[in-house]
Every structure is written in structure tokens, then in C-alpha cells.
Chains A and B, each alone.
Chain A
């Protein structure tokens, strides 16, 4: 080059171009919008559990890995027997065209140690769907093992899956004889039965309803035909980042005054989501997302399900679209901007899911609860809150003022059940161990911080209540986190199978707390059972 370019540039006011270049450099180096997830720090592996509020870990078996060894999960001695429970979920992977699909995957599960010694305990086959597959393995170790190894059957298997709810329970029997054991009772609650669906499929939902205004709500009304719901499917598309902040899926009651639809301001249930967490955890396929939404409904009553963008900072290039059909003559979409509501003859694509509990002797077995035979005439009962919407659906009773059943709700921010600290609000868990218990341990936490203090009680008859003191009352010197923990040991009389746990709030603490909510999380019940 003979510098002609620079000569010419200097003729064209070189100083101006240098200033522009300087501004570009400054903008690029310091002008990154920190609220954009693209420029945020990558989240660590362990964050997944924290986001869900689950104590137990979730492990990812990625597509590019042939084996995954989970180290130090338990310590099994030679000839020791036990039961292993875990859940598997097929994770969608990208095909050659970049489309997300579920791949059928086969793998083997081994017990393993640090010296590459292993024992095969099960072959698993994951179907090409995103359904949770619960597994239970009864096993006796032929050597000392500490690890669990998952290995794909073929080296070229490209499927990926998620391992969760991994628990090991040792058995008292020493030999490999499970024939006389009572079959484990596991609360595998089915949340997949559809109780309401739009009149067209996801593929036919091609009309776009876009969030373009602040404080906008887009949703649809439906008439409840089940007494509880566990989740809803919606077809969504995030435009670029989708905006910064969390969208809110709302379930509200609808009042119809002189033909005018009005949304009742109080929420029955809600779920906060943003692009990152919804795509990571709630994506099914074809842009359809399964969003947990736990609520008790009145059959025949009209409700509204919709998305609200009041807490989202967005612009035209970064927003959310909901899909449906604009030629649907039977249904109506509700639009609301700054509390002004209007209807439009269209329909959103959505499916509402109900709840089917495992039942034993007519009693509901709480989600994830396990009743296990130890092999020596004794058994174990284990129930843990999962930090998910099912914690709310497991409730036996919720009391609310003025027949407003939605003062108690699943709180995905806290990862447990929360209630408004007003009136006589309370919620009650009914723990039925099916077999009489000899001793029961109740452990739980309250949210703490600005939340109103919770009061926790137990009862054998849902009437005479005994308070479970928080650790701050029991210990002289307590750490801040211990102030929010509750623990109680209850002795059984050899006949009792049922315990009620009631949670309400301390009315004296409402004045000095800035969040007028109370709650309970990490509830864990363990009991020794008499099976004879």
C-alpha cells in the first residue's frame, strides 16, 4: 500500500474519524449492558440445585461423555445389601440441523471403587421423551464400593440425561434374598395427566402475541374441570435475550360483571421465569415450555392463566412472544395494559396438567415419600420437601380468610410453601406412614430474613397441637441460620400412623418484619416403622 488511503482519509477530516473510532472502542469496552445474560458470568455446575431450591444434587450426563462416575455417594461393604433410588430424565440434544430433540439412550449402572473394580447393577433405557423415569434397584455388593458409575452401552451413543433424587438406603439383611421383603411404597405422583387443552396442537399455533408495552399481561381464561393443577404448557419464543428480569406466569380468578371480564388482583399461584432458567429446565420441544403452577381450584369456576411483564426491562428487540391462533372463534385472549383489560377472539396454545397421587389403603402417599422394608421387621418412612411445586400440592389443608383459597402458595423464589401473614392463615401437612412408627424426626426451616416468623406445630388428631420450637429457643448460643431451623423427635405408641404438621405465623413478629409472608422449606420427615 502506498498510503493513499491515509492521505485520502486525512482529507476527509481524519480527526472526526479518529474520534468516532475512539467512541466505538470506549463503547465496546465499557458499554456492555451488565443485565444481558450474554455478558453475565457462566453459572457453576452446582447452581442448578440452588435454583430449584433442592437439597439433593442433580447430575448431568452430557452427550459428549461416555461415562459418568459419581464419587463418594455411599460406603457399601462386601455382602451388604441396600436399595438405590434415582430418577432419570432425557435431556434434549441438538441434531445436525440444530434442532433440539430427545435421543433414545441405553446405559448400564455399576457400583465402583477407586481401583476400577465394578459390579453391574442395572441396565437402563431412556425413551426419546422428556419424562422423568424413576428407578429402584435392590442390590448386594460383592466387594467394598463407594461410587456409582453410569456408562453408555455404545461408545457412539449421543443421548444426554439428568440424574436426580439419588438416595441409597442400607438394608439389615446380609444375604441376597429380597423375596420376603415388602415391596417399597414410593409416592410417584403423576403430574402428566392433562385436565385442559386448547383446541389445536402446538404445531398449529402460528399466530404471535408479542409483549411490546410495559405492565402488559397476555393470557387466557378457562373453566376448571379438576380440583388442582400442577403445571401449564405454553408455546413461547424469546426474542434475543427476552429482556432483563423475570416474567411472571399468573393464575388468577376471573370475575364477570355485566359481561365485562375483570381479573381479581390477588394471585392464586405464580411462577417467575426468565429465558435462562426456562430454557435450561422447562423446555420440552418445539418451543413449548412446561411451567410448574401448583394450585387448588374450584371445579366449574373460571380462571385466568397469563404472563405478566411488569418486572421485565425489555425493548422491541429483546422481548417475549406467546403463540396461539388468531382465527379461533370459541375462545378469547385477555390483554391487559396498566390494569385496562380487553378481549380478543383468539386462543393461546396451552395445556393444563392435574395431579394423580399414589394411594395406599385409600391414603395419599406424598410426592417422593418412601416406605421401605429393612428386612428385619422394621422399616423406614422418608419424606422430603423437594423445593418444587409438588410441596404445595402435598398439603392436606390450607386455611384462608374470606374463602380466598390462594393465601397459601408455592413460592419458587423461596423454594417451598409460603403464605400471607394475615388473618388465621395456616397450612397443614398430613403425614401417613401406612405402618405404625416407633420414632419420628421432623426437621424444617423457615425462610428467615425479612419473612415473618413461622410457628410450627404437630398433632396426632389435627386438633390438639404441640409447638415445635425453633432452635433459637433450645440453644443458648445459636448461629443465625439455626434461628430458622425446627427439629422435633416424636415417640410413637406402636399404633399411631398419622401425624399432622401445621405451619402458621407469629402475629407478634409481623410488625418488625418487612415481608408479610411466612413459609416453610426443607421439611424432612424420617420415621422408624414397625412392619410386624
Chain B
């Protein structure tokens, strides 16, 4: 036990952690962890993918336009599924589209706030 703690201290002192503590590694680890968490909590595939997407989106932000495009794509499939009488799939796509619309608005609000800040700085 003593040996182990000494080894850890040595590594920390040598700053070996630096090479692993990059944004890339950390983001990958957290995204994979979110997959494991959803799997452990026995979420459906749809919920699991959506949750992982949110985590990835927080770590590597995308524009509100991109999210809005996804929402529109999903909405486009809803009437198609309804035409071929796949009601349950249509319902799932509609729910996903709704989630993405909410995300779009949240991200858009964040972007707006950032824009206001940067334009305020410019004015100053």
C-alpha cells in the first residue's frame, strides 16, 4: 500500500498526468462513461444515444443551427412514418425532434448571451 502511494506521488510529481489530461482524452473518457452509465441504468437505446449526444455537445459545443437542422430532419420523418402506419416510430421521432428543438433554443440563448458579451466588449 505504501509502495503504491509512493508510486502515485512520484507520477504526480513528474507531471506524467499532463500527457493524459488533455481535452481530447478527457472528452472521450466522459462520453464513453456516459454510454456505460446509460447501459448500467438500463436505458433504452434511444435514451442512451440522446444522453451521450448531450454530453458530447456540452464538451464540444455545436451551433444552434446544426441542432435545428437535426430537429427538422427528425420532424420530416414523422409524417412519412405516419403514412406507412408506423405509429410508434413516428411517435419516437416526434419526441426526439421535440428534445432537439429544446436543445436548439437553449444553445441559441447561450450563443446570444455570448454575442451580447463580445459586442459589449467591442463597444467598450
* Chain A positions near chain B (C-beta within 8 angstroms): 1-2, 4-5, 8-9, 12, 16-17, 19-20, 23-24, 27-28, 31-33, 35-36, 38-39, 214, 240-241, 313, 315-318
Contacts and interface: CB of A to CB of B under 8 A. Distances in A.
Contacts of A1: 12
Contacts of A4: 15, 17-18
B88 A20 contact: no
B55 A23 contact: yes
Interface string B28-54: 001001100111011111000001001
Interface of B: 12, 15, 17-18, 21, 23, 26, 30, 33-34, 37-39, 41-45, 51, 54-55, 58-59, 88
Given A4-B15, A12-B26, A16-B59, A36 B54 contact: no
Contact of B37 (A2, A28, A39, A317): A28
Nearest to A2: B12
B59 A20 contact: yes
16 contacts: A1-B12, A4-B15, A8-B18, A16-B58, A16-B59, A17-B30, A17-B59, A19-B58, A20-B55, A24-B34, A27-B37, A31-B41, A32-B42, A35-B42, A36-B42, A240-B42
Nearest to A240: B42
A315 B88 contact: no
A223 B15 CA distance: 74
B39 A317 contact: yes
Contact of A241 (B17, B26, B38, B42): B42
Contacts of A35: 42
B4 to A, nearest CB: 15
A241 B54 CA distance: 26
A20 B59 CA distance: 8
A17 B45 contact: no
Given A4-B18, A8-B21, A16-B58, 13 more contacts: A5-B17, A12-B26, A17-B59, A20-B58, A23-B54, A23-B58, A24-B37, A27-B37, A28-B41, A38-B42, A214-B88, A316-B45, A317-B39
A279 to B, nearest CB: 17
Contacts of A318: 42
Given A20-B30, A20-B58, A214-B88, A39 B12 contact: no
A33 B44 CA distance: 9
A39 B38 CA distance: 14
B39 to A, nearest CB: 7
Q: Which of B17, B41, B45 has the most CB of A within 10 A?
A: B41
Contacts of A8: 18, 21
A53 B45 CA distance: 36
A432 to B, nearest CB: 52
A31 B39 CA distance: 11
A400 B52 CA distance: 55
A173 B18 CA distance: 90
A241 B43 CA distance: 11
A28 B36 CA distance: 11
A315 B45 contact: yes
B41 A27 contact: yes
Nearest to A24: B37
Nearest to A8: B21
Most chain-B Cβ atoms within 10 A of its Cβ — which of A12, A27, A32, A36? A27
A129 to B, nearest CB: 35
Contact of B45 (A24, A240, A317): A317
Given A20-B59, A23-B55, A12 B23 contact: yes
Most A CB atoms within 10 A — which of B17, B33, B39, B44?
B44
B45 A39 contact: no
A280 to B, nearest CB: 20
B6 to A, nearest CB: 14
Contact of A31 (B18, B43, B45, B88): B43
A15 to B, nearest CB: 10
Contact of A315 (B17, B21, B44): B44
A33 B41 contact: yes
Contacts of B54: 23
Contacts of B51: 27
B33 A32 contact: no
Contacts of A17: 26, 30, 59
A467 to B, nearest CB: 48
